[in-house]
Structure 1
């Protein structure tokens, strides 16, 4: 190193650090903690030098933007040199505002048009709502039946006693005993039970005409036989249940019906709330019609056709059994996140000359809606002849009423059927233990009771209230 007057020097590019008074000497490469380590205590113009040599913390000129020189530091350093940027304030009145001097007459419509559009939209909505409410048919109704089941009212309800399967090949004997139909704690119960095993395991004849209890005039509905001869599978109905109706005590022609009920739980149970005509004015079933307010199945929701989570409504109508057009007027409604056997629901019907609909819990939750806006014969699109070549005749249109045959008095039926061979439970679905076409159907069902009977946890149709109203505003055809 060379000595120079006034102190030592180091070659250009080297660093020199001087310790503060009484401080610890600094080693080369050690930052001086007595000053801002970012070099912002003093910001020099590009290329400036401090006394004693170049500022070792100055950013290389190529790494600093030109705007960084002469600007104030984020760390609060005082700027040096000329300030290139400073704020200005425009004095009031110096800026021209021509839009204040002369207003564009079209500008006001920017506000007027949207506001006007809102008011017009609200007015149109109000008119549509008013017109919709005005067009809703509001009939006057008169009470025909309101039963809270303090007792079983035999003046209203009739217990049907039969063994013939009611045209569906059902597997139950309906009884008039309190084993299957009874009132308890203000509720009506229609409960299926097992048949007496002795009537099935031995040769027997179950004759309902002997004691006069049979409610049918057909011997097939009143007599059942068990034949244990090898190869013969004939048995009496393997279960017992109940079926009651209001034919003697309450019927309506147009009006409303509501039944508050909890549906049964158990495999192969078939609960129903439905109506039949008091008189077969137009001919035998289904010519005179049938109204199914609610039908369901006791199987759980995993059942292939839908179990007690599904409520179905339908109308049956047609010129003969083979041409029943029920499938044109059949709708299902699924319970929301529950089943209809989990609690009570209101199953309702509203019926007039111009329409008929069913609902669950609210008239807004409609299941089936049928508008009588054309003759049912035309709606059915029936063939000219049935399968045996017999010509089919229109039994309804001569009335000149488009709702025929649903223009007569109907009565209410409540029942719980068990099984059947009419297809309500489809073959080979979810372990069904019988075939509809088999002569052994009832016996096969009986022999499989170890599988289905344990599922009958709550097999009763439990009803808390039944109400029927007649339309009585003077516009009905009485």
Structure 2
């Protein structure tokens, strides 16, 4: 049980029960609109949905919110123009202020009890970008405002949702105040079925939350208790306790050593969607042969299970090497790359690059976004569009030449023009190392040091491992950091 205080009222909310109720009913939380006014004042408004009897709100300005009275608080029991509206004309806000808040939509009280029942969202965050002027300064919505936030039904589809979705509605939001295992599946397995075949095992210990950010860190298997460098040739790696994949136990054999690196990956557990805008604020890793994965992956692989036949969308990635070239072309962490992938042999057909001059994408956080519609995909960084992909005359598949043989062409051609990106996808965040797809064979690092493995070689992972003295000292920032994720309906 979690205690929430509003004014002088103490309310007990059975949070776990609320979340179970939402999952069973397919409830999608309506958008919470927060307006900051000049010279002072704040308004919180939520569209009414069937069954809601009150709005409870608590927020703190530029500090964390727990379950007590906030700097901004209120309990609204009367609707205004079909909206639940909290208006406080005394609050002074500035551009850049962060409002951390909890909100409850009450659906009644438990029988013979003061305890509220309803839909609860905790530790949410809103950033004030600008201050609005309003007239009149009271709790009512103006006619113009009512029209602006009127629900226009979106083409966005959310998995297991039976309620209308409004255009502009936030359908998923995560700020990583905590690691919510009811929201995220923390992966634990050996990715032998990944077409990229990274040189890692995914383990829970590589995933953590600190300082309001998700940390996915790469570390050496040999540093784990009970392991040494020779263990990679002789020990059994057993991840069956907590296994989330098909391969969770491995015995090395000759050149087929254990994965030398532990890394992490999380996947949205109950959330998947079709069409929308995804916004991710992230900081890329630094270190040779590291690469982040900020992906949308198919919930159900309707177009095939192998070689990316059902597609993935790479929202943003940048290789961790400071210096990485082939034929005088830069492939290092100054180069951002993104795009849809739907064929293993021709995986780079729709990927595009963006170079950051005199800096790397790992130096600071950046906001990466994808706008996914039934007609096109648009990728942005720091609110600047940089990739726009539309299907060809016979769909997206017609953008691929005939030698791209992994495509299920007939099935794609008989589907929508954006197939296979016309199905439900979920969010996957991870950090990988090496593998067979991300690093060309002719790459060199500093002082013309060659890439130590060939992608198709049987000893690829072993040869990577033998070069540890060259690459491990470069791992100055071997982690992917995620500040927040937001998904907005079209």
Instruction: Give, in whole Å, the separation in 1 of the partners of 2:408 and 2:261.
Output: 39
* Larger fraction in helix: 1
Q: Out of 400, 407, 427, which is 1:412 matched to?
A: 427
With 183-192 and 420-429 compared, the bigger mean Cα shift is at 420-429
Q: Provide the TM-score with structure 1 as the length reference.
A: 0.61
Indicate if the aligned counterparts of 1:427 and 1:434 stay in contact, CA closer than 8 A. Answer: no
Match of residue 206 from structure 1: 237
Secondary structure, in 3 states, of the residue corresponding to 2:477? coil
Contact kept, 8 Å, 2:324 with 2:444, in 1: the verdict is: no
- The SS at the match of 1:328 is coil
Gaps of 5+ in 1: 1-136, 472-478
* Equivalent in the alignment of 1:331: 352
Q: Secondary structure of the equivalent of 1:451?
A: helix
Residue 477 of structure 2 is matched in structure 1 by 458
Shift of 1:343: 0.5
After superposition, the Cα gap between the structure-2 partners of 1:185 and 1:329, relative to the gap in structure 1 and judged at 3 Å, is same
- Tell me the residue number matched to 2:402: 382
**Deviations 1:409-440 (Å, cap 9, x if unpaired)?**
11111111011123534345322122223332
Cα separation, partners in 2 of 1:302 and 1:379, compared to 1, 3 Å: closer
- TM-score using structure 2 length: 0.59
> Aligned equivalents of 2:167 and 2:409: distance in 1?
36
Alpha-carbon spacing, 1:428–1:301, altered in 2? closer, same or farther (3 Å): closer
1:340 aligned to which of 355, 361, 378: 361
Q: 1:84 is matched with which residue? A: none
Residue 155 of structure 1 aligns to a residue whose secondary structure is: coil
Q: Is the 8 A contact 1:181 1:242 kept in 2?
A: yes
5 Å-filtered alignment, 1:12-411, equals 140-165=167-192, 166-177=194-205, 180-196=206-222, 198=227, 200-202=229-231, 203-209=234-240, 211=241, 213-217=242-246, 221-227=247-253, 232-246=254-268, 248-285=269-306, 286-304=308-326, 305-318=330-343, 321-322=344-345, 324=346, 326-362=347-383, 365-372=384-391, 374=393, 375-382=395-402, 393-399=409-415, 401-411=416-426
Instruction: Give deviations 1:108-160, integer Å, cap 9, x for gaps.
Output: xxxxxxxxxxxxxxxxxxxxxxxxxxxxx9x9222122111110011221111
Alignment length, in residue pairs?
312
Provide the rounded CA distance (Å) in 2 between the counterparts of 1:340 and 1:386.
Answer: 33
Distance 1:200 1:189 in 2: 25
Structure 1 residues 456, 303: CA separation in 2 closer, same or farther (over 3 Å shift)?
farther
SS of match in other structure, 1:426: coil
Using the TM superposition, give the Cα deviation of residue 447 of structure 1 relative to its aligned residue in structure 2, in angstroms: 2.3
The structure with more radius of gyration: 1
Of structures 1 and 2, the one scoring higher in RCO (CA 8 A, sep 6+) is: 1
User: In 2, are the aligned partners of 1:256 and 1:468 still within 8 Å (CA)?
Assistant: yes
| Residues 26-63 of structure 1: per-residue CA shift (max 9 Å, x gap) | xxxxxxxxxxxxxxxxxxxxxxxxxxxxxxxxxxxxxx
The change in CA–CA distance for 1:403 and 1:234 in structure 2 (over 3 A counts) is closer
CA contact (8 A) 1:144 1:250 kept: no
Preserved CA contact (<8 Å) 1:419 1:425: no
Moved more, 157-166 or 141-150: 157-166
Larger strand fraction of residues: 2
Indicate if the aligned counterparts of 2:303 and 2:408 stay in contact, CA closer than 8 A.
no
Q: Secondary structure at the match of 1:327?
A: coil
Name the SS of the counterpart of 1:353 in structure 2.
coil
Q: Distance in 2 between matches of 1:269 and 1:415?
A: 11
